[in-house]
Copies of this chain bind each other. A is one copy, B any other.
């Protein structure tokens, strides 16, 4: 690769003048600039960012750590897909910043993270984004004082700035939507009870019921995920839970599942019991995993887990923090995703009295 000296010599000027042409930080005669540009094009010269970084002490690099190849048991068959959407969001938001993204994968082994961070420090990254594969708490090694750090899809107990999915509101909006469609008996078959997502979404479920004046019935909420890679066991648990729900004295008109995959399995299970979707029973998922929600028949109502948006937000936050060291948020940034309506939810026939009153109201 040619250097600025090669360009200078070929153009018959000093290296400094070439530098000025490149950076436009001082006046250069138009004719000189033209010659320099021609030489640059001819030689295919590109200024070395290593040399620039040394002089300016700014690398123009952002580091990103994922645990994508994670073997975390609680999300066995998504195998790290979700966090890749976050990475896409990060890339998208980085595009216009002029920074370049360094990426490293912990392979699901937390003990590797310090090494990756050290590599990033060697490259003098201006900031690091740590992406987790699902909403959870993490504990990271300390970084040098001038390296900014943002957590995406996770949080720690030292108050590091973080971007989290608004699980509570997501489930609340979904339930509110169901209530608006006339459902009153709403079952919720949750993921693994230990997950933050489960705790928060269950809270959101109760928020929505409470806002509509519907009393909470514990019989309608069952943990139906166990966090294992054993597919057969998962199916069994799900089958049992659905059995229990359907044999209640007053069965629900809709079953909400902890994620789209559970809902996808439920399609098969419910149909094998002779139930039609959504006429006999309505179903919802969570995550809006498009491959599932859009491809299933009928299309699945779900809640968007805003991974892409979280990546964008994390990046914007980090770039702001790099720009202004004091601009640090004090609380987690919660990002909501919309309810994605599919055809898996039936709008319940409304009692006459209500119908007429609604009819009047909308006129």
Beta-carbon nearest neighbor of A293 in chain B: B77
**A1 close to B261 (CB less than 8 A):** no
Which residues of B sit under 8 angstroms from A268, Cβ to Cβ? 296-297
Residue A84 is within 8 A (CB to CB) of chain B in the complex: yes
Residue A265 is within 8 A (CB to CB) of chain B in the complex: yes
Write the A94-133 contact mask toward B (1 if CB under 8 angstroms, else 0). Answer: 0100001111110100000000001101111000000000
A121-B1 contact in complex given A54-B54, A101-B104, C-beta closer than 8 Å: yes
Beta-carbon nearest neighbor of A120 in chain B: B100
**A59 close to B50 (CB less than 8 A):** yes
**B88 close to A100 (CB less than 8 A):** no
Q: Which of A281-329 contact B (CB under 8 A)?
A: 289-292, 294-297
The residue among A1, A59, A261 with the most chain B CB atoms within 10 A of its own CB is A1
**A68 close to B49 (CB less than 8 A):** no
Residue A48 is within 8 A (CB to CB) of chain B in the complex: yes
Q: How big is the A interface, by class?
A: 35 or more
**A77 close to B122 (CB less than 8 A):** no
Beta-carbon nearest neighbor of A123 in chain B: B49
A144-B48 contact in complex given A104-B91, A105-B91, A291-B289, C-beta closer than 8 Å: no
**Min CB–CB distance A21 → chain B (angstroms):** 16
- How far apart sit A192 and B235, CA to CA, in the bound complex (Å)? 34
A47-B122 contact in complex given A88-B105, A291-B77, C-beta closer than 8 Å: yes
CB < 8 Å: which of B59, B79, B84, B92 contacts A290?
Answer: B79
**A88 close to B101 (CB less than 8 A):** no
**B101 close to A103 (CB less than 8 A):** yes
Which residues of B sit under 8 angstroms from A81, Cβ to Cβ? 81, 84, 291
Which residues of B sit under 8 angstroms from A91, Cβ to Cβ? 68-69, 103-105
